[in-house]
Amino acid sequence: MSLNIPNLERNKPLAPFTTYQIGGPADLFVEVYTIDELTHALLAARRKDIPFFLLGCGANILVTDKGFRGLIIRNLANKVTFLDNGRVLAESGATVAHLIEQCMNRELSGLEHFIGIPSTVGGALWQNLHFLSADRQRTLFIEEIVLSSHILTEEGQHRTVQVDYFQFGYDQSILQKHQDAVLDVTFQLSAKRKDEIQIVMDENKAWRNAKQPQLSEYPSCGSVFKKIKGIGAGRLIEQAGLKGARIGNAEVSKKHANFIVNTGNARAADILQLIKYVQEAVKRKLGYTLETEITIIGEQE
């Protein structure tokens, strides 16, 4: 495969770029730092009809042991511009954590609920990033603060779209069905004192630390399964008696059952087998069919 992309690498191990710390190599790999570089890489791959995947923080995905037969584009385009009336323009490679910090310093509220979730702006739109509200009574979605976005369409056209274009749902967006790429996003935030924003961030971080396994403990991809009929998958998995279930070095977290953690040198095959085992057990014992919310990247056995 020949591509006219600067700094292109071959046979690049992907495990270090994922929160799971799992996965084989990509045939082709490039890091891009500007929207122009991102656009160039996307168009080059499309011209040659080479499969590609946009990589952000590497969460919510599992790279297979055989790796990816195509081009991985690691998006590091992260410029943030503060506009008027609470509007913020962020490039798609900006991390949500970095954006939250900048917005808090300017006393702009709306993103702080998502503190602690490893995601880029592009990844946040891909999956409609969400977390519980401060009172834990409802789920807040990134779509609620999205105004518009500049995208590169499947056909290679630049286009500005409004929030409705994304057809957001729970853990889903139109980006999962089409190969349109987010270049930047404009958010609508509201004014709030810095200390009030900090309180929400501290409470959310404390809640996560208490309820969920942290990456500093064991690598994971975040939640594995979608809610079903309003019921958290973790509750169903726990009811089925599956906390602590293991295959190889993959384990259903003893802290939160909707996390499958890498206890040390787990293979993607271990994770996939454990996912299947959990699905079959929950179906057999409780009658529910669990669907995954993670994206499987690469060549499977």
pLDDT tens-digit map of 40-72: 999 999 999 999 999 999 999 999 999 999 999
Rounded Cα distance, 149 and 89, in Å? 9
Rounded Cα distance, 46 and 49, in Å? 5
- Do residues 288 and 236 touch, judged by C-beta distance below 8 A? yes
Which pLDDT tens digit goes with each residue over 204-234?
999 889 989 988 899 999 999 999 988 999 9
Q: Which residues contact 160 (CB under 8 A, 6 or more apart)?
A: 148, 149, 150, 151
Catalytic-labelled residue, pool 31, 223, 251, 253: 223
Is residue 1 very low, low, confident or very high in pLDDT (cuts 50, 70, 90)?
low
Domain boundaries, the chain: 9-75, 80-211, 233-297
Q: Which CATH entry fits the domain spanning 9-75: 3.40.50.620, 3.30.43.10, 3.30.70.270, 3.30.530.20?
A: 3.30.43.10
Which pLDDT tens digit goes with each residue over 135-181?
777 888 999 999 999 999 999 999 999 999 999 998 889 999 998 99
Which pLDDT tens digit goes with each residue over 70-122?
999 999 999 999 999 999 999 999 999 999 999 999 999 999 999 999 999 99
Q: What is the CATH number of domain 80-211?
A: 3.30.465.10
Task: State yes or no: is 293 an active-site residue.
Answer: yes
- The per-residue DSSP string of 249-289 comes to TEEE-SS-TT-EEE-SS--HHHHHHHHHHHHHHHHHHH---
Task: State yes or no: is 238 an active-site residue.
Answer: no
Query: How is domain 233-297 classified at the architecture level of CATH?
Result: Alpha-Beta Complex (3.90)
